Each structure stands twice: as structure tokens, then as C-alpha cells.
Amino acid sequence: MSGFMGHEPDGKPGQPKTVKEWVFTLDHKVIGVWYLIGAIASFIVAGLAASAMRIELGSVGPDITDNGDIYNLWLTMHGAVMILGFQIPALLGFVANWAVPIMVGGKDMAFPRVNAMSVWLLWSGILLALMNLVIPDSYNGMWTGYPPYSLTDAVGNTALYSSVVIILGMSSVFGAVNLACTVAFMRCKGMGWFQMPLTVWCVFTANVIQLIFVPVLAASVLLLSLDKYLGFGFYNPEVGGDVLLYQNLFWFYSHPAVYVILLPFMGILFEIFATSARNDVFNYKATVWSVIAFIPVSSDVWVHHAYVAGLPDWLRLLQTFTTLLISLPFGLLMLSLTGTMYRGAIRYTGPMWWAVAAFFMLIIGALTGIPNALSAVDYGISDSYVIMSHFHYVMAVSGGMAIFAGVFYWFPKLTGRMCNEMMTKLTAAGFFIGMNLVMGPLYFAGIEGMPRRYMDYQMFADNATITSAHHWSTIGLYITFVSALLMIVVWLHGAIAGEKATSANPWGSQSLEFTATAIIPGQGNFPTPVSVPEGWHPYNYIDNPAPVFEPHPGHTGGHH
């Protein structure tokens, strides 16, 4: 029954050759690359929307548009595509698909056909979302889609919004089942749970969170469509519905979703930090348990998105406390990251530059979250640029930078070529400086009262802090824009004309995807089934026993 697995290991290194092989592939690595291409295309589209907004906000009064609906379309597209099209697919698609099966020593995902279906669902979701740019009644209700606004005609095509969310949600759920099974059942001989790289743990946990919460999101937007088009009244107060029900359902998913992004990108940072420092991860087991602790803790924090939405006072106070508890597992992860440098032997490669930059953004982002968690402090900053700046630091920018770090890190395994190191470092520095200039001043604009989702701020025209913050922020955008563009050029140049990788393990990692595969791993990943001997650990840089290959590639037909 080899057909079930789709293919047998042929040991031949390299990528598919023909278009047909690319499109109809069942190989998890090629599927991972399809996710990556989708994610980067989304990043470009959403980044262009961000740039348009940022330029519009450069000064008081219209700069490039005075049409509120157009601006709101940009904003809606930017938020939705960045999260649903860029970050989640890059992390739970690309990293999960490309890296995780090899990292656990498996020859593919547990269900390759389901895997292919997930990626093509993602692509249909992205294409459907892009239709918003061409249809006449485009949707402008922001990625949160709050009723009752999303039930009115002014919002545009709510059905399109719900469909995109549901399709992407289906893609995530299929992907999550697949990945969880892969980690649980496809680990190579000898690899115990506590011998898995942290990226694997983080992606696995993130997928468990997805499995629990995505259905809630799907239900919440489905009810939205039923309300709007069939006159049900779940969220309609005129017929006894409740507008707050939506916010509770929506954030019950969407706050945990923040950790779905956070955990895998921290996993990438762990990988790069440990490899670059050739050092053990500080307190590995405790780190793993901290990752797992995110499941229960993240499930009880959603109300902090609705502190000022008329919720009962006792609930605000209770959820202030549970929200603050997140700082415990999160603090431990940050400590482990720093601890991984302790007495290390750090080599500053290109990926490490990106990872360190992401790490510093993460410190700022995490700490600026503490004021938001306190319900009473939130009364002054709710839905302001303080929040905007905070989440861009913690999720958008550090997450984005960690993703890019990961792309640079696994680049030689994807293409067999190296990116230019100098340029990699230059783009990292440019992005870091640019993004701090974009988001830093806006924090202070937020303190002064600048609300988010504004296309203009004429009421603050005589507030020098706010106007100059916007001015500097837009200058920061130009630096970021050039760096991002350059980064894409570096990738293209690397893939086509980069120096050929001379080693299958250019950074000196101990993880299986570097130590046990060809420069470009072929079908089935390992020439023959791999196993790890006792005492092997992905972060043991002192005396790791080498992985073992079974001499005869047994006919493993995929029944597990």
C-alpha cells in the first residue's frame, strides 16, 4: 500500500523537476515551500497596504486618498492578510511542514494527501481574499468583523469575509491534525518526547491550540453570515441577540491565536540561538513545560480585548489577573533564550542577526503588554496607538523577523545555495532600525490619545507629539520598505545565483534536518530510515552520538 504514503524514499537528493511534479506533489517539503510562497506573497500584498496607510498618515489631512472606504479596505486587507495569509501559514504551514517532519526523523507527514489539500485550501483562501480588491462591494469591516457594523450594508461583502475565514480555518484544522499525528507517530526510532527540538514542541502546542479554538472562530463568523443574510438574530439586539456574544466567541479564538503565532516563532529563535551559540538550551525540560503551559493559560485571557465593552466589573478584575499570569510561562521562555547564550560560543551569522533583532523587539513588545493587561489602565489606552504599537512589536515585527530569520536559516536546505551574508545582516539591521522608527514614536502618540483605525487625526492637529510621531513613523516606513525589498532581492539572488552550499550543515546545528540529510533533502528525507542512539539530544554540542541509518531501507508502507 505504498500509494497511501504517496511515495517511497528514493534517497535521491534534490527538488522536483517538472511543473507537474511541483503542483501535484505529496512531499511535505515541497508543500512547505508552497506555503512559504503563499506567505511571502501575502506579506508583499499586506505590506503594500501598510505602506499606503502609513504614507496617508504621514501628515494631517489627505495625503494620497481622502476616501474613507478605500483607506478602510487597505486596513482590513492589511490586518487580515498579515495574520491569516502571512504569519500563520509561514509558521504553521512552512515551518511545520518543511522542518518538523525532518526534525523528528520522519520521512513525511502522517497524511500527505491531506497535507496537499491543506495547502491548496490556503491558496484558495488567499485568492478569495484578494478578490476583495476587485469586487464592487468590498468588505471593510476590519479583520475582527464586529457586529452590528458587519451586519449592515455599509460594510460590504460579509459573506466573503466569513468564507475566507472558514476556508483558512479548515486548512488550519486539517494541518493541525496532520502535524499532531506526525509528531506523535512519525518520530524516528529512539526519539523520545523530551528529545524533540523546541521548534517541534512549539509548533505541536500551537497546533493543539488551533484544534481547540479554530472551530469557535468558524462558528462565530458562520453565525454572522446567518444573521446578515438569513435574518437570524444571534448578534442582533433588536430580536433579542447580543452584540457582545460575537466579541466573546471571536476573542476566545483570536487571543489564543496570538500564542499560535508567538510559540512557533519563539521556537525558531531557540533553534537559531542554540545553533549559533553551540550551546544547550537553558533548562530544556522546564522550557518545554512552559510551552505546554500556554494551552491552559491562553484559554482564559480573552476578555482583556473587551475590558471597555460594557462587561461586568468582576469579570474585568478576574481576567486582569489571569491575563497577568501569562507573564510566568512567557518570562520563563525569555529567560531560557537569554540563558542559552550564557557561556555559549556565539557566531553571528546572518540568521542570528535577524534572530537577535527579533528578540529585542520581543522584549519591548512583551513589556508593553503589561499595561494593557491591567483593566483600569486599559481605560486610557484601549483601541489606541499604544495597543497598535504593542502588538506590532510583540507579534507583527518580532514574529515577522523571526520568520525571516527562519527562512535565512533553512535557506541552504531549500535551495542548496547560500544567501549573501553581508546583505543578510544589512537587511536585518535596516529592518530593525526602520521598524523601531515606525512603531516607537507611535507608542507616544498613543499615550497622547491617538486612536487606532483612523485615516486622519485633524482633532489632534495642534498636538506636536502626535503629528511629529506620525511624521517620523512614515520616515521609518521608507527605511523598512527598502530593507524588505532588499531582503526579497537577497532571497532571489541567493536562490538563483547564490554561492553553492558546500556543507549539508552550514551553521553547525545538531538537529536532524542538518546532520542526517543531503544538502537538499530528497524524497523521504533520509536515504534510509534514520534513528537516534541513546543519549542523543538536539542541543547537545559536546558529545552527541551521531544519528544511525538502517542499512536496508525496509518497505515501510505507511501503516502505523
Partner 1 sequence: MKFKSLMHKVMGAMLALPLIPSLAHAFQAAPAHRADYNGWTPHEHYDAVWHETMLDITVLGVVFAIVTFAFMIMYRRHGHGERGKLPHLSGQAKIGWVVIPCMLFLGDDLFLYVKGFDLHNHFRNVPADATEVKLTGSMWNWNYVDVNGIDSDNELVVKQGSPVVLRMVSDDVLHSHYMNRYRVTEDLMPGRITWQWFMPDQLGESVVTCREYCGTMHSGMYGKINVLSAEDYDAYVAEQTASVPAVTGVASAATAADKI
Of residues 44-73, which lie at the interface with partner 1 (CB under 8 A)?
A: 68-69, 72
193 close to 184: Cβ distance less than 8 angstroms: no
Distance of closest approach, residue 47 Cβ to ligand HEM, in angstroms: 5
The correct pick among 5, 26, 45, 82 for binding ligand HEM (CB under 6 A) is 82
Q: Which of 309, 475, 518, 548 binds partner 1 (CB under 8 A)?
A: 309
Among 37, 2, 3, 23, smallest CA distance to 414 is for 37
Q: Which stretch binds ligand HEM (CB under 6 A): 59-67, 119-127, 252-260, 450-458?
A: 450-458
315 binds partner 1 (CB under 8 A): no
Interior angle at CA 70, CA 66 and CA 72, nearest 5: 105
Q: Are 331 and 272 in contact (CB under 8 A)?
A: no
From ligand HEM, partner 1, none, interface partner of 313 (C-beta below 5 to 8 A by class): partner 1
Q: What's the DSSP call for residue 234?
A: T
Q: Which is nearer to partner 1, 95 or 428 (CB)?
A: 428
Near partner 1 by CB under 8 A: residue from 339, 350, 406, 538: 339
Q: Please identify, using beta-carbon distances, which residue of 183 and 381 lies nearer to partner 1.
A: 381
Residue 395 to residue 387: CA distance in whole angstroms: 12
- In the bound state, the residue with its beta carbon closest to ligand HEM is 79
Interface segment toward ligand HEM; rule CB under 6 A; list 168-176, 196-204, 390-398, 409-417: 390-398
Binding mask 392-411 for ligand HEM (x = CB under 6 A): x--xx---x-----------
CB of 297 to partner 1, least distance (A): 12
Q: Does 322 sit near ligand HEM (CB under 6 A)? A: no
Is 456 near partner 1 (CB under 8 A)? yes
Q: Which residue has 523546541 as its cell numbers?
A: 198
Nearer to ligand HEM, 118 or 436 (CB): 436
530 vs 103, 107, 199, 338, 548, CA distance in Å? 11, 9, 20, 32, 6
- Whether the link from the prior residue into 148 is cis, omega within 30° of 0, is yes
Using the rule CB under 8 A, which residue among 115, 279, 427, 474 binds partner 1?
A: 279
Q: Which residues contact 35 (CB under 8 A, 6 or more apart)?
A: 89, 90, 93, 94, 97, 98, 119, 122
CB 263 within 8 A of CB 210: no
- DSSP secondary structure letter of residue 188: P
What string of DSSP letters covers 278-302? T-PPTTHHHHHHHHHHHHHHHTT-G
Residues 6+ apart with CB under 8 A from 94: 32, 33, 35, 36, 39, 406
395's contact among partner 1, ligand HEM, none, with CB below 5 to 8 A by partner kind, is ligand HEM
Of 385 and 539, which has the nearer Cβ to ligand HEM? 385
Q: Within 72-101, which residues bind partner 1 (CB under 8 A)?
A: 72
> Of residues 84-143, which lie at the interface with ligand HEM (CB under 6 A)?
87, 142-143
Which partner in partner 1, ligand HEM, none is near 460 (CB below 5 to 8 A by kind)? partner 1
Minimum distance from residue 313 beta carbon to partner 1 (Å): 5
Our CB check for partner 1 shows the closer of 10 and 69 to be 69
Site string for partner 1, 102-141 (x = CB under 8 A): --------------------------------------xx
Nearest residue to 282 via CA among 221, 238, 333, 240:
333
Q: Is residue 477 a contact point for ligand HEM (CB under 6 A)? A: yes
Burial classification of residue 192, based on how many CB atoms lie within 10 Å of its CB (0-12 exposed, 13-18 middle, 19 or more buried)? exposed
| Minimum distance of ligand HEM from residue 434's CB (angstroms) | 8
Instruction: Find the part of the chain contacting partner 1 (CB under 8 A) among 121-129, 201-209, 224-232, 318-326.
Output: 318-326
Residue 388 interacts, among partner 1, ligand HEM, none and using kind-specific CB cut-offs from 5 to 8 Å, with: ligand HEM
For position 438 contacting ligand HEM by CB under 6 A, the verdict is yes
How many CB atoms lie under 10 A from the CB of residue 136? 6
Residue 303, helix vs strand vs coil: helix
**Residue 371 Cα to chain centre, angstroms:** 24
Chain positions contacting ligand HEM, by CB under 6 A: 47, 50, 53-54, 75, 78-79, 82-83, 87, 142-144, 388, 392, 395-396, 400, 438, 452-454, 477, 480
